[in-house]
Structure 1
Amino acid sequence: MVHPLLFLQFFRELLAPLHISAGSADAIAYTWLIMILLLIVSKLATSNIKSVPSGLQNFMEVVVGGIENMLIETMGEHGKPFFPLIATLAIFILVSNLIGLVPGFFPPTANINTTAACAVIVFVMTHVVGIKHHGAAYVKHFMGPIIWLAPMMFFIEVIGHLSRVVSLTLRLFGNMNGHELVLMIFFGLAPFIVPMPMMLMGVLVSFIQAFVFMLLAMIYIQGSLEHAH
């Protein structure tokens, strides 16, 4: 594997003409690295599919099957068309979180641009699905149950939907960036002993944050599919 410092230097030089900051360049570099790794793993897992899975195929079937079961439990059978989006977000965010636990690597989710991009995808998809499913009647989701309160409710609902982007962005970014800063401080103070419990806790945080993001994405899309009352 290419050393992360050489990988970073290559991307910084590549992105230099665009005047992108070092932190954003790191996030972009590791985002591409994670995408390449996931493509390789997907290729290896599906290159020789067996009726009785084993090894990497068995592991990926467990992961994909677990996400699919959670999707069906949360959204029902009509949520299956959104499985590729939800699974992609969940796996990408989880791997992005976990890669930060490898010494010398930087988690892309510790950069607010990455988390904002994921949040915007969920926001846009939510309303695209709502408009596609309900047509012009989708606006009723923003009007509230009482007609004479509709103008005020519309304003409140718009703010509420926009705040979802901020919430998804800052929750994931804050947790991962905070954990990264704590690890850096502990590695500076005691490189071998003290950081170990924090790294173990980081594994738990990585899974929880990926789960929360995935769950909220499913809830938001499910809400756009429901009929306004």
Structure 2
Amino acid sequence: MSTDLLTLLTDQGWALALAKGCALTIAAALGGTALGGVMGFPMAVLRWRAVPVLSQAVAVYSGLVRGVPGLLVIYLIFFGGVQAVETLLHLGGNSAILGFVMAVIAIGLISCAYSVEVFRAALQAIPRGQVEAALAVGMSDLVAFRRIIAPLALRHALGGLNNVWQMTVKDTSLVSVVGLQELMRVAAIAAGVTRSALVFYILAAALYLAITLISQALFLRAEKALNLSFGGRS
């Protein structure tokens, strides 16, 4: 059995294909998480500040995206926005790049909906007295936000962002249905070609688990570093 597996992975090139799929999964997850965070933080600030109309609009968006299956969001983005994105980025029919960009956008919109709630909760966890103290010593609202509010919010949000990242990594498997050859898609192709479905799905599960464990360790290190920078205990 081990000899057959080695033959599949090396002689038939599936090890390299899985590695490329894994790299594409990580890239799509990183892109989607970054996009979700960049969009989610200002949206969370709008909700935290209770800005009329905009706050309600963000709440509707977040609730709507979190309330429907991620696969449905991906279908809507792929089949509703492909032409617009291709025209905007002047991709000229480059389906590989277009597919990746659309995947990042779709995953980013899903990630954003959850990031909004994580950041909003983090902002609400900041003691009001610390904000008032910053304003009392003469800081402007912008300086107080940059030097006091944002760093404290990041500290409170990191655990939730870890959960969002883990979810986003798993959501990348959903874009396999539209042809992007990330890890799950490669595993499915290999399973069909070699008729060794169990082997390749187990390998895919092991790779997803490795990404999760490594990510968890990195987030824990980041949390310890933030705690130390704020005078906390490691």
Instruction: Calculate the TM-score normalised by the size of structure 2.
Output: 0.38
